[in-house]
């Protein structure tokens, strides 16, 4: 496969060719991360869905594997789902092994006229740790006549398996239980929460440590349901939200009535948590938006569409509860992708400019830590801006944080002209992203950012607010400017800019 195109991410996973959407079946076993994904190997838009497969030892450096699940019949596609490791052979598929792997997913049937037929839940098992699968000969394991019933995610809860699955257009997350992964019993529904959009998709449920915001110590644990919905997101298209609460193996109850978004930007959908990761759960999302995923210029220019987000480790904060998303540094660290230090500077108000035209990957990691901010004295002009430009074309990607005022962070991709499709441009050039930062106006503030050719990911305040942003410049962006302006006296800003190594080289 060719990963050299100027829009091709170098530290994010993208498929060799063809169209990718949701991450599927992610699990971690014996030192290997397995990522499956919704894959159309024969087109540049959704359709003909298979499960593609890639593996990684560090979460950043991926190797492509043969397609893992093919459509079992004509007009029947393999939709999203999950994987568990059946270490105790509850299924009976693995009499002589403790590393048996079972995939649980949706089979979506299509009628001759192209309309959707029934969606049912099915399983397949693997004796070789997820490289090859056999379909169970008595599928489906959950039958239905509905054309909108999909995306099972299974976890282990004490003595049984628990599944969340979407009755998409009824805005219901069904919870089922099983002891053998073959026979499933309906247990409860979690209904009509949060942003509905036109449909719910890809529910997840995961146990997460709750940490003290200052010390980082684990003080509790809670369950989180993440739920994707589309169309109808605040900025248009698709979005993922989450709910914090308790789970007793059959029922989920929410902590409060809040709807929290995983990202403040537009391009993180259908995120899934890895099965088999202890401690802070790790997830990866599909870094795109159904509003334009099938039109982005990587298709015509380079023969592929869609990349995944970086892996993110996650925890909950006790005060002002939210998920904090962090670049993964517990199981492994960012060392496999970190290249050279290009600049470090500590300043008050001022700026740092780096020309990175010579960085072969065209990808950077940037960190800025701001301390000693007198929040009461910050004004609407007190900003920390990160701006990327292409001197060759004059295009730019602007982003920044306002320390005063209510709408703290913006990303403006309206100054990029990498496309000639009017529909796409119109949806893509949305400038501002907003979130409520009232709980985060403190004396110190931090941004971590990765720019990777056609992707920009930012983590603010320990990842309590995060955003994944696609961008398509006609010429590579090669200059970055980090500027602090009108910060109140006493503020200190330390900036570090690193090159990233290509994981595909
Ligand atoms: C979400 C989704 C899922 C479905 C899959 C099909 O993006 O629509 O609900 O299983 O994509 O590719």
Give the residues across from 18 on adjacent strands. Answer: 304
Reduced to 3 states (helix: H, G, I; strand: E, B; else coil), residue 169 is helix
Which numbered atom of ligand 1 lies nearest the CA of 108? 10
Give CA–CA dist 138/135, Å, rounded: 9
412 is catalytic: no
pLDDT band at 375 (very low <50, low <70, confident <90, very high): confident
Tally of CB atoms within 10 A around 344: 12
Closest CA to 407 of 435, 430, 371, 381: 435
The 10 Å Cβ neighbour count of residue 225 is 23
Work out which ligand 1 atom sits closest to the CA atom of 46: 12
CB 238 less than 6 A from any atom of ligand 1: no
**Alpha carbon 280 to chain centroid, angstroms:** 15
- Average pLDDT rounded to a whole number, residues 425-449: 72
- Does the beta carbon of 171 sit less than 6 angstroms from any atom of ligand 1? no
228 CA from centroid of ligand 1 (Å): 10
Give the whole-angstrom CA distance, residue 154 versus residue 179: 12
Q: Which residue's alpha carbon is nearest to atom 7 within ligand 1?
A: 22
List strand residue ranges (DSSP E) for 193-300, in order.
199-211, 218-230, 239-247, 252-254, 260-261, 269-273, 282-286
At residue 77, does pLDDT exceed 50? yes
Task: Return the ∠ at Cα 68 (arms to 64 and 69), rounded to 5°.
Answer: 145
Mean pLDDT, residues 446-463 taken together: 93
Estimate to the nearest angstrom the gap between the alpha carbon of 348 and the chain centroid: 34
* Region at 345 (left for phi over 0; alpha for psi -120 to 50; beta for the rest): beta
Report, as an integer, the average pLDDT of 231-237: 89
E strand segments, 13-157: 18-29, 32-40, 50-56, 62-69, 76-85, 101-110, 116-126, 134-135, 149-157
Q: What is the mean pLDDT of residues 289-308?
A: 94
**What gap in Å lies between CA 499 and CA 113, rounded to an integer?**
51
What is the per-residue pLDDT across 379-422, written as a single tens digit (0 to 9) for each?
989 999 999 999 999 999 999 998 887 667 888 887 887 655 54
Q: Ligand 1: does its nearest atom lie under 6 Å from the Cβ of 82?
A: no
Confidence tier at 330 by pLDDT (50, 70, 90) = very low
Centre of ligand 1 from the C-alpha of residue 241, in Å: 16
Q: 223 and 203 in contact (C-beta within 8 Å)?
A: no
Residue 260 exposed, middle or buried by CB count within 10 Å (0-12, 13-18, 19+):
middle
Express each pLDDT in 142-151 by its tens digit: 999 999 999 9
Closest residue to atom 8 of ligand 1, CA basis: 201
Contact 409, 398 (CB under 8 A): no
CA distance 266 to 433: 9
DSSP, res 210: E
**Which residue has tokens 């990587």?**
298
* DSSP notation for 410-468: EEE-TT------HHHHHHH---B-----GGG--S-EEEEEEEESSEEEEEETTTTEEEE
Nearest atom, ligand 1, residue 106 CA? 10
Burial 162-184 (b: 16+ CB within 10 A, else e): bbbbbbbebbbbbbbbbebbbeb
Q: How confident is the model at residue 431 (pLDDT cuts 50, 70, 90)?
A: low
Q: Which of 19, 85, 24 is nearest to 51 (CA)?
A: 24
- pTM here is 0.96
Considering only CA atoms, which of 288, 476, 493 is closest in space to residue 385?
493
| Cα–ligand 1 centroid distance for 387 (angstroms) | 34
Q: Is the CB of 412 under 6 A from ligand 1?
A: no
Q: What percent of the chain has pLDDT over 70?
A: 94
Q: Would you tell me how many other CB atoms lie within 10 Å of the CB of residue 5?
A: 15
**How far away, in angstroms, is 369 Cα from ligand 1 center?**
38
Quick one: what percent of the chain has pLDDT higher than 90?
Answer: 81
Ligand 1 in reach of 19 Cβ (< 6 A): no
Distance 58 CA to ligand 1 centre (A): 27
Measured in angstroms, how far is the CA atom of residue 371 from the centroid of ligand 1? 43
How close is the Cα of 287 to the center of ligand 1, in Å? 14
Query: By CB neighbour count within 10 A (0-12 exposed, 13-18 middle, 19+ buried), where does 14 fall?
Result: buried
- CB-CB contact of 245 with 227 (8 Å): no
For residue 202 and ligand 1, the question of a CB distance below 6 A is answered with yes
Question: Helices then strands (H, E): number in the chain?
Answer: 2, 33
Task: With a cut of 90, say whether residue 313 has pLDDT above it.
Answer: yes
- Does residue 390 have its Cβ closer than 6 Å to ligand 1? no
**Active-site residue, selected from the candidate residues 22, 58, 412, 461:** 22
Is the C-beta atom of 239 inside 6 A of ligand 1? no
Question: Average pLDDT of 445-453?
Answer: 94
Give yes or no for residue 79 CB within 6 A of ligand 1. Answer: yes
Per-residue model confidence (pLDDT) at position 414: 79
Whether the predicted pLDDT of 56 surpasses 50: yes
Contact 49, 40 (CB under 8 A): yes
- pLDDT, position 200: 97
Supply 208's token pair.
């997460």
Count CB atoms within 10 A of the CB of residue 391: 12
- Three-state secondary structure call for residue 493: strand
- Ligand 1 neighbourhood includes 150 CB (under 6 angstroms): yes
Is residue 119 within 6 Å of ligand 1 at its C-beta? no
User: Ligand 1 mean position to 109 CA, how many Å?
Assistant: 13
The whole-number pLDDT of residue 429 equals 61
CA nearest to 49, candidates 40, 60, 41: 40
Question: How many CA atoms, within 13 angstroms, populate the side-chain half-sphere of residue 288?
Answer: 28
Angle at 357 between CA 299 and CA 295, to 5 degrees: 15
Closest ligand 1 atom to residue 80 Cα is 10
Residue 49 Cβ inside 6 Å of ligand 1? The answer reads yes
Mean of per-residue pLDDT scores for the chain: 93
Ligand 1 pocket mutation, candidates 270, 271, 286, criterion most atoms within 8 A of CB: 270
What atom of ligand 1 comes closest to residue 79's alpha carbon?
10
């Amino acid at each position: 496969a060719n990963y050299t195109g100027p829009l091709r991410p170098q530290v994010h996973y993208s498929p060799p060719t063809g169209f990718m959407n949701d991450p599927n079946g992610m699990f971690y076993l014996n030192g290997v991360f397995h990522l499956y994904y919704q894959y159309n190997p024969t087109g540049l838009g959704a359709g003909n869905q298979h499960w593609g497969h890639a593996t990684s030892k560090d979460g950043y450096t991926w190797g492509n594997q043969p397609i893992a699940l093919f459509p079992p019949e004509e007009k029947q596609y393999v939709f999203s789902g999950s994987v568990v490791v059946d270490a105790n052979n509850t299924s009976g598929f693995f009499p002589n092994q403790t590393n048996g792997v079972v995939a649980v997913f949706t089979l979506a049937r299509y009628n001759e006229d192209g309309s959707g037929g029934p969606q049912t839940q099915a399983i397949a098992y693997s004796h070789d740790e997820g490289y090859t699968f056999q379909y169970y000969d008595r599928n489906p394991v959950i039958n239905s006549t509905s054309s909108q019933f999909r995306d099972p995610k299974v976890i282990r809860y004490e003595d049984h398996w628990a599944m969340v699955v979407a009755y998409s257009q009824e805005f219901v997350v069904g919870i089922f239980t099983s002891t053998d992964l073959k026979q499933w019993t309906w247990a409860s529904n979690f209904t009509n929460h949060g942003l509905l959009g036109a449909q719910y998709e890809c529910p997840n449920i995961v146990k997460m440590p709750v940490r003290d915001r200052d010390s980082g110590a684990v003080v509790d644990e809670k369950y989180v349901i993440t739920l994707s919905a589309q169309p109808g997101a605040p900025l248009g298209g698709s979005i993922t939200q989450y709910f914090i609460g308790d789970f007793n193996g059959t029922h989920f109850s929410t902590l409060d009535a809040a709807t929290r978004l995983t990202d403040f930007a537009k391009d993180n959908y259908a995120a899934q948590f890895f099965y088999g990761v202890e401690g802070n759960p790790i997830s990866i999302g599909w870094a795109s938006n159904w509003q334009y995923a099938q039109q982005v210029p990587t298709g015509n220019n380079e023969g592929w569409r869609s990349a995944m987000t970086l892996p993110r480790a996650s925890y909950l904060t006790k005060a002002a509860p939210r998920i904090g998303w962090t670049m993964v540094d517990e199981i492994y660290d960012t060392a496999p992708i970190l290249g050279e230090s290009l600049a470090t500077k500590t300043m008050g108000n001022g700026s740092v400019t780096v020309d990175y035209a010579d960085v072969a990957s065209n990808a950077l990691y940037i960190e800025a830590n701001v301390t000693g901010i007198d929040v009461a004295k910050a004004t609407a002009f007190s900003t920390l801006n990160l701006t990327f430009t292409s001197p060759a074309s004059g295009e730019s990607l602007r982003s920044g944080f306002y320390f005063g005022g209510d709408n703290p962070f913006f990303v403006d991709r309206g100054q990029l002209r990498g496309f000639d499709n009017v529909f796409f441009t119109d949806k893509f050039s949305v400038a501002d992203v907003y979130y409520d930062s009232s709980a985060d106006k403190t004396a110190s503030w931090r941004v971590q950012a990765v720019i990777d050719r056609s992707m920009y990911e930012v983590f603010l305040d320990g990842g309590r607010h995060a955003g994944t942003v696609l961008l398509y410049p006609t010429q590579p962006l090669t200059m970055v400017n980090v500027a602090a302006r009108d910060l109140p006296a006493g503020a200190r800003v330390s900036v570090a800019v690193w090159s990233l190594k290509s994981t595909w080289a």
